[in-house]
Amino acid sequence: MPELPEVETVVRDLRPMLVGKRFGALKVGKLTLRRQWREEWQRHLIGPTIRAVQRRGKWILIDLDGPWLVVHLGMTGQFRVMPANEPTETHTHFVFSLSPGSEELRFRDVRRFGSISVFADQVNLDAFFAECGLGPEPFDLAKTYWREQLAKSRRCVKAVLLDQSVVAGVGNIYADESLFRAKLHPGRPACELTAREAESLRQAIVIVLNAAIRLRGSTIRDYIGGSGLRGGFQSEFQAYGRDGDPCSRCKTTMEVMRLAGRSTHYCPKCQKR
């Protein structure tokens, strides 16, 4: 599933290709995605100039000078600009023509867990994210807030990292990578972390995410950026998917366990419980 670095890469790819352009015709597929498309949304999209392409958590936000087009990639979503004369791939659910030019913005999603929605203005957009309970960005985590969130939870620290209401954008891959970097066992109750350990984890999250963004995220199966390029951070994994491999620090065999409903990879020596 695309996480923050992958979504940020899509946003950075799309920004120079979309800002200053307008949406023309819109083709909507017959199959329903996670959120039902409403026909009345189309009138908000056609005409306004695209002012900005941004990210919030794992969401892509396209600012249409009033209305907002909001996209979630789900598990297999691909959102990219392509030549209009290039054949449309199967599982393509939305095709936006772009003006000026002869290109299209296409949304393809094999498993259909992604979504595209339109919000009429900033007020409605803010209300949507408030309803979602989306937490702060990892890069904006205040020390006091982060320590308080950990201290009040008896859940394992891995579960807290995956909770989008606590911190937005971190998913399974980067939770494992951050915990490995901070040398913390993913199964430890969050409330048992010391102030020093909490701060080490806060810094590790930022370091790992920035490194992944520099390498365009991680391509495990379906993910590609907004320009069609794959990610490269998967070759830098220190924890995720490395069960059975030697730890890069101590050479102990890496292990995997199930936590918070997700496979969790760690070193039993470097990340002692």
List active site positions. Answer: 2-3, 58, 262
Which amino acid is located at 16 in the chain?
P
**HSE-up (13 A, CA, CB side) for residue 127:** 7
Q: Are 264 and 158 within 8 A, CB to CB?
A: yes
- Between CA 237 and CA 234 the distance in angstroms is 5
Phi and psi torsions of 161, nearest 5°: -65, -30
Beta bridge partners of 257: 264
Residue 82's H or E segment, with its range, is strand 77-83
- Between CA 72 and CA 74 the distance in angstroms is 6
DSSP 231: P
Which amino acid is located at 65 in the chain?
D
Residues counted in the chain: 273
Cis ω before 100 (30° cut-off from 0): yes
Provide the token pair at 142.
Answer: 């205040």
| SS percent in the chain: helix, strand, coil, step 5 | 35, 25, 45
Q: Are 73 and 58 within 8 A, CB to CB?
A: yes
Which of these, 208, 176, 179, lies nearest to 5 by C-alpha position?
A: 208
Spatial neighbors of 241 by CB under 8 A, at least 6 apart, are: 220, 265
- Between CA 180 and CA 169 the distance in angstroms is 18
